[in-house]
Chain A
Amino acid sequence: AQTVTQSQPEMSVQEAETVTLSCTYDTSESDYYLFWYKQPPSRQMILVIRQEAYKQQNATENRFSVNFQKAAKSFSLKISDSQLGDAAMYFCAYRRGGAQKLVFGQGTRLTINP
């Protein structure tokens, strides 16, 4: 079974600095997709960024980028120029190609210090 592990229950960063959230996953599949979701105190799950396993180029969305290391099964999220609005729980998720189920990690709570 596929598993997703986020080893950092909590992280904190100073406003305007850069922070990296870790995620590792375990799969024997070659066709899969990876996602980072943000869950602010409002509880709404918001997709931050996504990556297809076949694409070697790391995905980027404005201040958010990933470091996708396929051989190491690692998918870390880098947030540059951190803002107060970035404070939230962040979840890494995996989906096997052709499957419906998203497998989530346990989450990392990110605090932004002003």
Chain B
Amino acid sequence: NAGVTQTPKFRVLKTGQSMTLLCAQDMNHEYMYWYRQDPGMGLRLIHYSVGEGTTAKGEVPDGYNVSRLKKQNFLLGLESAAPSQTSVYFCASGASGTYNEQFFGPGTRLTVL
């Protein structure tokens, strides 16, 4: 199993450009998440999904959109990138259960100039 994979690993954008980050998981998990990690801070939840076709806002959703058209994929979109969105983005997936443990992808480093 590949677990959770993210595409791309690195990206540089100019202010105002758009892009989509792709997350894929092969563990048949119901739940998927997008986090961002900024220097000196822990991860913060952007959006999440509890099942195919559903999405919900997390702690820092502004400037991002998401879609979960297929159970195994969770897309994070930036319609008009801003320098404040320079960050490392992590996708995670998890199954329902006692701990609802989350498994993380390797991250995408995004720089917005």
Task: Give A residues with C-beta under 8 Å from B.
Answer: 4, 33, 35, 37, 42-47, 50, 52, 91, 93, 95, 100-107
B59: chain A residues within 8 A (beta carbon):
101
Q: How far in angstroms is the closest Cβ of chain A from B36?
A: 11
Assuming the contacts A4-B42, A100-B33, asked whether A44 and B104 have C-beta atoms less than 8 A apart, the reply is yes
A46 to B104 CA separation, bound complex (whole angstroms) = 7
Interface residues on B, range: 20 to 34
A100: chain B residues within 8 A (beta carbon):
31, 33, 45, 48, 50, 56, 100
Q: Secondary structure of the A side of the interface?
A: strand
Question: Which listed residue (B44, B98, B100) contacts A104, Cβ 8 A?
Answer: B44
Interface centre among B33, B42, B102 (most CB of A within 10 A): B42
A93 to B92 CA separation, bound complex (whole angstroms) = 14
B41: chain A residues within 8 A (beta carbon):
104, 106-107
Question: Which listed residue (A42, A47, A52, A91) contacts B43, Cβ 8 A?
Answer: A91
A100 to B99 CA separation, bound complex (whole angstroms) = 11
Q: Which chain B residue shows the least CB distance to A45?
A: B104
